[in-house]
Each structure stands twice: as structure tokens, then as C-alpha cells.
Amino acid sequence: MTSELGRRIARRIAATGPMSIADFMAEALGHPTLGYYRRAMPLGTAGDFTTAPEISQMFGELLGAWLAERWQAIGRPAPVRLVELGPGRGTLMADALRATRGVAGFHDALDLHLVEVNAPLRVLQESALAAYTPTWHEALDAVPRGPLLLVANEFFDALPVRQFERTPQGWHERMVGLTPNGEHLVFALAPGPSPFARLLPETVRGGDLPAGTVAEVSVAAVDLAGRIAERLVKDGGWALIIDYGRDTSGTGATLQALRSHRSVDPLDRPGETDLTAHVDFATLAQAACTTGARVFGPTGQGTFLRRLGIERRAEILKARATPTQRSAIDAALLRLIDRDQMGTLFRVLAMGDDRSAAPAGFSDDT
């Protein structure tokens, strides 16, 4: 038995034909009333997944220090738009702001904007951040122009991807269609080569690849990275994008679905299932560079947090903690930075205007 949204999508496909995976993702996650990010309370142990700021306060605190340092680096503009894309429970931003209370002038300069489509999460963000009087938006374009500090943790992985499969005739798009009895959603290959395959990175599209190879591209992610970078170049500022993904464009299908912390079929119960795909950081970096922005990374989350001093921060927290709390801090630290946990899979990319010095957390060659 599928979901209400699954039935609606099936009716639409029966009427108008198969849809791209990107259209399916956009509908499954963003449908105005039944989309996953419109209705569910996805985060936390009772939800479908947990995230770095929910694992430890250290994550938001260090990102706060990074943002405050970038504010100083761009000449302490006031106001500065502090923007978070997809703030979840507001935990990252609350920790970041608590940790930067002592930075002279920073909080007075801040104008906080949250880009969030989920109504239940907006309520949580409001209670976590009421003291900073945030303004909410459905999309970045609604945030007023001006110097910008932006952070996005696990936001880009929810943006729709298209998938293509190599055949002897060329790249065919993988679509979402229906089983012959019209009851179930299935993946199906479009019968002819797709003109949209030109959207794949040239390094992938032009490669000598065997039939059956699958490649993905997120036009929405590339477009958003370009728009952020354009604003940074015009108005000044810095952005930090953290997500799981890869540094160089490659092949392979990474679309995945989670429900209650378990991996499930991406086509099962749309609207009730979290859908994500690995972020192709090379395409984001290229989109940013094209605008003239400076780009640093991607580098591993573990390396980045170590360079920002997470081990020292853990020691400070442990000095005031009970033995049980100390073990929890150690476990959280490991989870965030260990290469077998989030340390390597999660990547960090910074982009900014070319008038300020290089940011912390990235070596000269990243």
C-alpha cells in the first residue's frame, strides 16, 4: 500500500507519462501539503536521521567561530545577513550564536534569515532562536541583498538529481514510471538518448564508459551554488556548505531513501521517506568559480573541525563534565571527525569574495 502522494504521482504518470527522477524527488520532498519536507518531523532519534549539530554542540560552536571570523575578515559590515539554509531544529544556529556572544559588535550587526519550508521545524527554530528575531523565507532569493554569511548543513543533499544510464546509443534518462498493472512506481529507462544528458559534467559525459554506467547531476544544486556565489561576489561575504558527497564528479547512482533510520526503496511511500543524493562538490565549486568567487575545499569534515580546534573544545567541555558526560563528549567527537564515521564522507566547501583573506579550516592546497 503506497502513500497518498504515491497514489497522486501514479495518477499523474498514468495521465502524462513517466517523470524524471528530479521531478519525482521535487514532488516527494516538496509537494505543498504532502511532501516529506512539508509535513514530517524528520530529525532526531524518533525521526528518520540525525545530523552533526544534533550530535554535539561543538559543531555549531565551531561554525559560529568560523562565521564570526569571516565577518571580521570582510570588515565587520553592519548589517550583515546571516543566513542558514534548512536550519532543522535551529540547533546549529543557536550553538553558533551562543558561542559568539563575546565577539565585539557581531551580534549587533546580525540580521538573521532562515530558509525553511517545513512548518513544524519553523516552530522549533522560532523557540530556539527567538532572541535573535529571525525572518523566514521559502527560498534564498527572498533574503534581502547585502553582505552575506551563509551556512548550509545537509541541505544540498535534498536537492533533486537527474540520473542517466549509458547505452550503446548514448545517455538515456532514468525515469519513474508504472508497473504494467499501473499500481506501483518503478524505475524505467527512457527509450531514446536524452538531450538533457548535456547537463552531466563534461568529464563524465565524454568518458569512455561501459554500457550500464549510471551518472547523476543536480541542476538545482549547481544553480543554487552559482546564485550564492554571485551574491558573495557582488555584496561581499562567505558561505560554508557541508554535506556528504564527493570531491570529483564521477559515476554511480547515489539516490537513497531513509525511513526511521533504515534504508528503503526510494519509490516506496513518497512523502513519508527521506530522499537524498550525494552532493557533487566539483560541480558546485565550478559554478562558484565561474562567478569569480574564491573557493576553498572541499575538505573532510574531520580535518576541517580539527583545524578549527574541536579536540581542544572537547577537552574544555570535559573538564566540567560528569564521567557519563565525558564519555558522551568523546563519542560525539569521534562520530563527527573519525574517518570511518562522518569525518571523511562529509565534505566542507567554502566560497567567498576575493577581497578577504583565506578562511580557517582549509590548508592552502585545498
Q: Smaller CB distance to ligand SAM: residue 56 or 194? A: 56
Smallest distance from ligand SAM to CB 41, Å:
10
Using an 8 Å Cβ cutoff, are 117 and 137 in contact?
no
Using an 8 Å Cβ cutoff, are 90 and 128 in contact?
yes
Q: Which residues sit at the interface with ligand SAM, rule CB under 6 A?
A: 30, 37, 43, 51-54, 86-88, 92, 115-118, 121, 153-155, 158
Residue nearest to ligand SAM (CB): 86
Smallest distance from ligand SAM to CB 121, Å:
5
Please spell the DSSP secondary structure of 155-197, one letter per residue. -GGGS--EEEEEETTEEEEEEEEE-TTS-SEEEEEEEEE-GGG
Q: Smaller CB distance to ligand SAM: residue 130 or 139? A: 139
Smallest distance from ligand SAM to CB 242, Å:
8
Using an 8 Å Cβ cutoff, are 199 and 188 in contact?
no
Helix and strand numbers (H, E) in the chain are 14, 16
Q: Which three cell numbers stand for residue 206?
A: 565524454
Residues whose CB is less than 8 angstroms from the CB of residue 191 and which lie 6 or more positions away in sequence, other chains included = 172
| Parallel, antiparallel or unpaired: strands 80-85 and 148-153 | parallel
Using an 8 Å Cβ cutoff, are 139 and 114 in contact?
no
SS3 148: strand
Q: Smaller CB distance to ligand SAM: residue 165 or 274? A: 274
Smallest distance from ligand SAM to CB 283, Å:
18
Q: Smaller CB distance to ligand SAM: residue 171 or 346? A: 346
Q: How far is CA 83 from the centre of its chain?
A: 14
Q: Which three cell numbers stand for residue 112?
A: 538573521
Smallest distance from ligand SAM to CB 243, Å:
9
Using an 8 Å Cβ cutoff, are 82 and 64 in contact?
no
Q: Smaller CB distance to ligand SAM: residue 178 or 284? A: 284
Q: Which helix (H) or strand (E) holds 18?
A: none
Smallest distance from ligand SAM to CB 300, Å:
17
Smallest distance from ligand SAM to CB 50, Å:
8
Q: Smaller CB distance to ligand SAM: residue 37 or 66? A: 37
| Parallel, antiparallel or unpaired: strands 148-153 and 237-246 | parallel
Smallest distance from ligand SAM to CB 301, Å:
12
Peptide bond into 79 cis (omega under 30): yes
Q: Smaller CB distance to ligand SAM: residue 141 or 311? A: 141
Smallest distance from ligand SAM to CB 13, Å:
22
**What backbone torsions phi and psi does residue 166 show, to the nearest 5 degrees?**
-75, 130
Q: Smaller CB distance to ligand SAM: residue 190 or 242? A: 242
CA neighbor of 41 nearest in space, from 129, 123, 96, 135: 123
Q: Smaller CB distance to ligand SAM: residue 92 or 310? A: 92
